[in-house]
């Protein structure tokens, strides 16, 4: 809750207190997508929510876990000016479930995508990384 004052002029100057109630964003960040960068990294991108954000955008919250291991959820808090993030330290050839939400006073709805890290193929003494992109 934020207290503001509106000033208007009549024959007398009058201050009228106004109470503004901020809520969570009404929609999720838009155009949320990602691709693998290597065998252990995924880059994700997004745009701000398409609807007006009620209040001040304070941050984004990014959650991710291996698709088959929902018990291993990790959380990253990102600055409100962010529109991409590199997730590193991931497992090779693993599909990750990734979500993002905008945060004002509370978290808004989440956008989601699944992205797989690259597969590492060992052929003799050579290491080859194969990258592919999963679109949902």
Find the mean pLDDT for residues 62-78.
Answer: 96
Find the mean pLDDT for residues 97-104.
Answer: 96
> Can you give the pLDDT at residue 54?
75
If you write DSSP's letter for every residue of the chain in order, what string do you get? -EEEEEEEESSSEEEEEEEE-----SSPEEEEEEEESSSS-EEEEEEEESSPPSS---EEEEEEEETT-GGG-EEEEE-TT--EEEE-SPPTT-EEEEEEEEESSSB-PPEEEEEEPPEEEEETTEEEEE------
Residue 93 has pLDDT above 60, yes or no: yes
> Can you give the pLDDT at residue 1?
44
Q: What is the mean pLDDT of the chain?
A: 84
Query: Higher confidence at residue 53 or residue 7?
Result: 53
Find the mean pLDDT for residues 63-76.
Answer: 95
Q: What is the pLDDT of residues 107-123, one digit of tens each?
A: 999 999 999 998 887 76
Specify the CATH class of 24-130 in words. Answer: mainly beta
Kindly report the pTM of this predicted structure: 0.74
């Amino acid at each position: 809750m934020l207290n503001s004052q509106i000033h208007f002029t009549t024959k007398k100057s009058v201050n009228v207190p106004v109470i503004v109630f901020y809520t969570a964003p009404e929609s999720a960040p838009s155009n949320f997508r990602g691709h693998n960068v290597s065998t252990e990294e995924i880059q994700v991108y997004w745009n701000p929510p398409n609807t007006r954000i009620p209040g001040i955008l304070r941050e984004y919250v990014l959650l991710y876990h291996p698709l088959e291991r929902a018990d291993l959820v990790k959380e990253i808090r990102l600055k409100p000016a962010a529109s991409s993030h590199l997730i590193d330290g991931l497992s090779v050839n693993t599909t990750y479930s990734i979500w993002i939400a905008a945060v004002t006073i509370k978290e808004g709805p989440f956008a989601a995508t699944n992205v797989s890290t690259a597969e590492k193929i060992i052929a003799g003494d050579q290491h080859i990384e194969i990258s592919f992109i999963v679109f949902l």
